[in-house]
């Protein structure tokens, strides 16, 4: 992590502001009206899916040469943030599309990119990511999923847990051990698995606290034959690729957290200006004003951290590992605090499903857990500082 005098870490340009307005309009018109029902029914947000495809916000990170819009990292974060402002489940569509396909973007062959990126850009499928296992969560190097070479092919056996949009996606980047006797961390390889591959099945949907509209399921591999040309990057380099991918995509989870927090703050401000107690608006009380000030201050600090990390992601800066972890960690902690305080500001109303605050509070919690718990983020940051 460097401390140089370059203060132009990122810049919100006119295109970014136009993009924000466009995404916000789509989110408020096409996504927000269904957010409560998506949560209540724990169903995939198809309305959001369709709206994101129609507006080119579905997988904005896909490069132009593969029929995408080629949005930079900051623009992609703005898309995710604005969707999360009204529906966290829906914001996982562009976020996980980036997570699942980024290994292909970073290390895939030209043939892999040409095969898998255009359908994603066209909105024909989502793209999921298979890294975690039941016994290998934060300790990714201890994964048990195996891929055994058979001629030019590989045969995949094992399972993956907590996979976002599993069952919806046609494509999955899956990490598996390809050399059980090899050096830990240098014996894992990444593959693209297709939903139609024989022997590839899904577990039941997890029953979750939040983001209920985004299906989370296990992936099961029973002698799944993967052609050799579906290896992503080099054999044995999969874990390094996975961690490099997370350096970039943790920033998008920070953006999701910022969006959830912003939505909660917006609702809280509107409520306390209208709600009256003791003959005056609740917003007139200094205790409430101090809460709002702290919420807004911490939220804006989180936003700036995410945007700086996004700029570093775009440039591929050497200190991205620190800033990606810091942005994700801080923004998600802020999202949890802001949504909890927003529920408090609405009092009993905040605790009911008549208002979206309790949903936002439940949704915020996962941002502290997935793509590396915040305890792991602090380990990542400390290692960077001590290196």
Catalytic residues: 371
Angle, CA of 54, 58 and 64, to the nearest 5°: 95
Q: Write out the two tokens for 60.
A: 């904005």
DSSP string, 140-155: GGG---EEEEETTEEE
Contact, 268 vs 346, CB < 8 A?
Answer: yes
Measured in residues, the chain has a length of 387
* 138, 373 Cβ separation under 8 angstroms: yes
Beta-carbon contacts of 379 under 8 Å, excluding residues fewer than 6 positions away, are none
Nearest CA to 314 out of 23, 19, 7, 70 is that of 70
Alpha carbon 55 to chain centroid, angstroms: 20
| Of residues 214, 194, 57, the one with CA closest to residue 116 | 194
| Local structure of 281: helix, strand or coil | strand
Burial of 15 (0-12, 13-18, 19+ CB in 10 A): exposed
3-state secondary structure of 136: strand
Nearest C-alpha neighbor of 256 from the set 369, 102, 356, 375: 369
Angle between helices 88-107 and 46-54 (to 10 degrees): 50
> First and final CA of the chain: distance in angstroms?
9
């Amino acid at each position: 992590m460097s401390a140089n005098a370059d203060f132009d870490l990122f810049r919100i340009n006119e295109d970014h502001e136009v993009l924000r307005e466009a995404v916000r309009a789509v989110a408020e018109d096409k996504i927000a009206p269904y957010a409560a029902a998506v949560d209540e029914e724990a169903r995939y947000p198809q309305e959001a899916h369709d709206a994101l495809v129609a507006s080119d916000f579905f997988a904005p990170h896909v490069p132009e040469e593969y029929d995408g819009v080629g949005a930079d990292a900051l623009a992609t974060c703005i898309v995710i943030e604005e969707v999360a402002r009204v529906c966290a489940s829906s914001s996982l569509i562009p976020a996980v599309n980036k997570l699942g396909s980024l290994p292909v973007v970073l290390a895939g062959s030209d043939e892999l990119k040409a095969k898998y990126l255009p359908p994603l850009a066209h909105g024909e499928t989502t793209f999921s990511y298979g890294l975690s296992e039941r016994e290998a969560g934060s300790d990714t190097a201890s994964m048990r999923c195996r891929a055994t070479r058979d001629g030019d092919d590989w045969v995949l056996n094992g399972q993956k847990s907590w996979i976002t949009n599993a069952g919806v996606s046609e494509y999955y980047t899956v990490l598996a051990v390809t050399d059980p006797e090899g050096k830990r961390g240098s014996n894992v390889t990444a593959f693209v698995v297709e939903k139609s591959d024989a022997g590839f099945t899904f577990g039941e949907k997890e029953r979750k606290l939040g983001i209920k509209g985004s299906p989370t399921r296990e992936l099961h591999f029973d002698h799944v034959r993967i052609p050799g040309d579906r290896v992503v990057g080099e054999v044995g380099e999969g874990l390094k690729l996975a961690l490099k991918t997370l350096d970039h995509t943790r920033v998008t989870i920070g953006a999701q957290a910022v969006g959830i927090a912003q939505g909660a703050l917006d609702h809280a401000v509107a409520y306390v200006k209208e709600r009256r107690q003791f003959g005056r608006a609740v917003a007139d009380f200094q205790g409430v004003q101090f809460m709002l000030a702290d919420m807004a201050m911490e939220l804006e600090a989180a936003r700036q951290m995410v945007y700086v990390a996004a700029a570093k992601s775009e440039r591929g800066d050497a200190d991205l590992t620190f800033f990606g972890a810091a942005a994700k960690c801080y923004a998600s902690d802020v999202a949890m605090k802001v949504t909890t305080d927003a529920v408090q500001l609405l009092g009993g109303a905040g605790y009911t499903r008549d208002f979206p605050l309790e949903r936002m509070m439940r949704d915020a919690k996962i941002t502290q857990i997935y793509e590396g718990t915040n305890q792991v983020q602090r380990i990542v940051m400390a290692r960077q500082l001590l290196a």
